[in-house]
Amino acid sequence: MSLVSVSPMNTLVVIGNHLPRQCGIATYTADLCAAVAHVFPRTAVFALAMNDGVEDYDYPERVRFTLDQYDLSAYRRAADSINLSNADVVCVQHEYGIYGGSAGGDLLDLLRDLRAPIVTTLHTVLREPSAEQRRVLVELAQLSNRLVVMSERGGTFLREIYGVAADKIDVIPHGIPDIPFLDPSFHKDQFHAEGKQVLLTFGLLSRNKGLEHVIAAMPTILTHHPHVVYFVLGTTHPHVRQHEGEAYRTSLKALARSLGVAEQVIFYDQFVAIDRLVEFIGAADIYITPYLNEAQIVSGTLAYTVGAGKAVISTPYWYAEELLADGRGMLVPFADPAAIAERVQALLDNEAERHAMRKRAYLLGRAMIWPRVAERYMASFQRARVEHRLSERVGTRLRAADWHRGVLPPINLDHLRRMSDDTGMLQHAVMAVPNTNEGYTTDDNARALIAAVKLEELGHPGAADLATRYLAFLWHAFNPNEGRFRNFMRYDRHWLEEAGSEDSHARALWALGTTLHCSARPDLIGVADALFINALPAALAFTHPRPIAFALLGLYEYLQCFPGDRLAQQTQATLAANLLARYAEHRTDDWRWFSPELTYDNAILPHALLLSGSTLGRTDMSAVGLEALAWLAALQRDEAGHMVPIGCHGFAQRGTARARFDQQPLEAHAMALATLDAWRITGDDTWLAETHRAFDWFLGRNDLGLALYDPITGGCHDGLLMDRVNQNQGAESTLAYLLTRLALGRVTDLPSSVLIAAEHVVLTPPVVPVSRNGRAREGRVR
């Protein structure tokens, strides 16, 4: 079975430098975070910023974590923090110099410990790496699910030099702001450059920028175009300033003075925000990148100016050769002032060609604006999530204990007790800690009551007290004025409604019927009986199939105690006929179901019809229940043999692809209970195999090889996501596991060989039910 849908991404963590640190990676990280957050507002975007010890930075709120570049232990702590953040994807901005260790290798310690999929953006891909640089990049590629490069040449290097598979590489252009195509004169007045022709270079200053060659070209340029000015925008790179101060800038100013062009070469010693940068770019007639080294795989400054539709002159470093191809700019040799002067003069002399070049550049830039780049990153993130789910790294590193068939985990009620207080069972948890903000529900307390009375049957200590507490909640939840159960209660014990959902009412009926059938305590039986009688009439007004099914399960349990209750019999017959009619309406040869969609708690529908048919003597109902259950079991079975519940992010519609994630414990619980009863009724061992398959899903035999059940806390994780388990352990999921474990206890605490050879039990409702004290209980006639 192949993956056909991807759940929305909730949390993205981006690792790299971040503004206000002054460097290109910091700007890129900040822009990427902002773009993804803007285009995908439902995705929370956080950053982990690398600190270099040069200064303390006043980071924005988005920077949730910081990491000392030179503290190896901090990398491991950072991995723990990211794992606890429940990140869907971690996006790494990689440049050798921003991480500690040889060739930045300390980063690998962080990445090895991450549980989330990793997408790494490579800002440098060297053609001739040192042995250590190669080692780091090769392992970085192995740890990453996807690699992003900003040029085709970067992808070529990865394939040919580092052996990275082509299908692991995404080429995503450098993001740029969406700058309008304006005449340069629009912004010149802000810089007192009206009537002048502006050359511009911007970025952090360092000796490899080659600015001296543009200054050396200025005398020749001014001879032909005396109104030219050259703007040099940017502070000195912090690391350069730390080691040599402003020596490079001082040398440039001295050169300009010696050549007599000091008034035409204007230095702006500023690291400007994007709005101000856009104004500088807008005022430029020609942008120049005179860098001295060809081994530059990307340049943010060049990307910005090409995308803004500027005429560009550049030395032929790798990124410039690619971005300026097809007439989008002009190339000049490295360290050649004469060539720079010649190209500047040519562009200033030929206005038509200059504007044609601008237009070609601007059109290319439309695909580079940050919203488009954010969309392409999100596509890469989602591919990474799919691949991470299937990767051997997850399967081997995180795989849960391999439970053997017939050997079940011991019952651990720690989390059940932790989630329960004097009022009842709380609804949600943050990890394994009860989340009191979310209060209580009748849904969960009904499930908890079923678990408590099943535990009472086993003689488990403390079960009676728990059962009393949950039944008291249901008693308080029932609203006699409405004849309905309320569902949602705040933590301060205030109800949020007068009547709850049909589902919550029907689950309460199921719990009350189970209490009557399984409990030996007269006090519980008396309360449950009174509630059941008063709540049952509302079931006839149910309009949805699942509450009908829950009510039928409650009626089945109730009728084991009171088979002569005619009102219960009539209600059962009416509701079961409703389900049967729905099946007849929607069934086709390739869609054997009760409606045009599969949503939640799916196996409950055939289960209810199967049990109702066994009680009513309706073989047609039982046959439909078995047919639908077999179809559902096959649909939720992977080719590898494990269960794949219908995902809650999209579910499954007839004629369309089904959602594979997020998989919910509720589905495995419903399937286990339904197939277990199918085995008891039919005696067919294949149903027992399906029961094991459903329970095994909790223990790690699933798409990810990850256990949902946590034997340490006794809780169950809230779902199987595309690439990990949901870390929260709420009431619904914990009870889904516990109820499944209790149901299997009597048949799977035996070795598989004994199970196969054992005499099969067929459920047949007794004519005269016997109570726990051995006395016959009279059937009620109404």
pLDDT, averaged across the chain: 89
**In the numeric block, which tokens belong to residue 188?**
């010149």
Closest to 279 (Cα-Cα) out of 308, 237, 250: 308
Say if residues 234 and 270 touch (Cβ distance below 8 Å).
Answer: yes
- Which of 164-168, 172-176, 741-745 has the lowest average pLDDT? 741-745
The Cα–Cα gap between 14 and 307 comes to: 24
Q: Residue 776 phi/psi, 5° resolution?
A: -70, 140
Whole-number pLDDT of residue 598: 94
Helices and strands, number each (H, E), in the chain: 29, 23
SS3 at position 596:
coil
Residues 746-751: contacts with CB within 8 Å, 24+ apart? Answer: 747/676, 747/688, 747/691, 748/405, 748/406, 748/408, 748/691, 748/692, 748/695, 749/406, 749/408, 750/406, 751/405, 751/406
Q: What is the pLDDT of residue 421?
A: 96
Find out whether 608 and 576 touch, Cβ atoms under 8 Å. Answer: yes
Q: Quick count: other Cβ atoms within 10 Å of Cβ 365?
A: 26
Q: How far apart are CA 708 and CA 696, in angstroms?
A: 10
pLDDT-based confidence at residue 746 (cuts at 50, 70, 90): low
pLDDT at 329: 95
Residues in the chain: 782
What tokens does 345 get?
């003069």
How many Cβ atoms from other residues are within 10 Å of residue 564's Cβ?
15
What is the rounded distance in angstroms from the CA atom of residue 413 to the CA atom of residue 452? 10
Beta bridge partners of 434: 429
Tokens for 186?
Answer: 């629009």
> Mean pLDDT across the stretch 12-24?
94
CA of 468: how far to CAs of 6, 146, 423, 463, in Å? 43, 54, 11, 9
Tokens of 116: 């989330």
How far, CA to CA in Å, does 416 sit from each of 412, 441, 663, 713, 716? 8, 15, 22, 9, 10
pLDDT in tens, 241-295: 888 999 999 999 999 999 999 999 999 999 888 889 889 999 999 999 999 999 8
Q: Say whether 482 sits in a helix, a strand or coil.
A: coil
- Looking at residue 61, its pLDDT comes to 94
- Locate 11 and state its tokens: 């949390």
153, 127, 121: which is closest to 323 by C-alpha? Answer: 153
Q: What is the C-alpha to C-alpha distance for residues 503 and 522, in angstroms, rounded to an integer? A: 27
* Cα distance from N-terminal residue to C-terminal residue, the chain: 51
pLDDT of residue 747: 57
Q: Is the pLDDT confidence value at 769 over 70?
A: no
- Percentage of residues in the chain with pLDDT exceeding 90? 76
Higher pLDDT, 169 or 113: 169
Measured between alpha carbons, how far is 6 from 146 in angstroms, rounded to an integer? 16
> Angle, to 10 degrees, between the axis of helix 502-518 and the axis of helix 522-535?
150
| Tens digit of each residue's pLDDT (9 = 90 or more) over 467-499 | 999 999 999 999 999 999 999 999 999 999 999
The answer on pLDDT for 763 being more than 60 is no
54 and 238 Cβ atoms separated by less than 8 Å: yes
Tens digits of residue pLDDT in 725-735: 898 999 999 99
3-state secondary structure of 449: helix
Q: What is the pLDDT of residue 163?
A: 94
387-429 pLDDT, tens digit per residue, is 887 654 433 333 333 344 446 788 999 999 999 999 999 999 9
Q: How many CB atoms lie within 10 A of CB 749?
A: 12
Do 482 and 433 form a contact (C-beta atoms < 8 A)? Answer: no
Q: What pLDDT is stored for residue 751 in this prediction?
A: 37
List 489's β-bridge partners, or say none. Answer: 440, 495
Tell me the per-residue pLDDT of 665-694, one tens digit each, with 9 for 90 and over.
Answer: 999 999 999 999 999 999 999 999 999 999
The span from the CA of 745 to the CA of 747, in Å, is: 6
User: What is the average per-residue pLDDT within 208-237?
Assistant: 95
Q: Which pLDDT value is given to residue 6? A: 55
Alpha helices by DSSP H, 419-521? 442-457, 463-477, 502-518
pLDDT tens per residue across span 538-593:
999 999 999 999 999 999 999 999 998 999 999 999 999 999 999 999 999 999 99
CA–CA separation, 515 and 517 (whole Å): 5
Q: What is the pLDDT of residue 76?
A: 86
pLDDT for 319 equals 93
Here the tokens at position 119 are: 């997408």
Mean pLDDT to the nearest integer, 375-379: 96
Please give the average per-residue pLDDT across 32-38, as a whole number: 97
Residue in the structure block whose two tokens are 């000015």: 229
Q: Name the pLDDT band for 184 (thresholds 50, 70, 90).
A: confident
- HSE, CB side, 13 Å, CA atoms: give it for residue 469: 21
> Max CA-CA distance within the chain?
116
Q: What is the DSSP letter of 426?
A: B
Burial class (CB in 10 A: 0-12, 13-18, 19+), 152: exposed
Contact, 601 vs 666, CB < 8 A? yes
Percent of the chain residues past pLDDT 70, beyond the cut: 92
pTM over 0.75? The answer is: no
Q: Phi then psi for 716, rounded to 5 degrees?
A: -130, 135
What is the C-alpha separation between 187 and 351, in angstroms, rounded? 19
pLDDT at 760 over 70: no
What does the pLDDT look like over 130-143, one tens digit per residue? 999 999 999 999 99
pLDDT band at 759 (very low <50, low <70, confident <90, very high): very low
Q: Amino acid identity, residue 448?
A: A
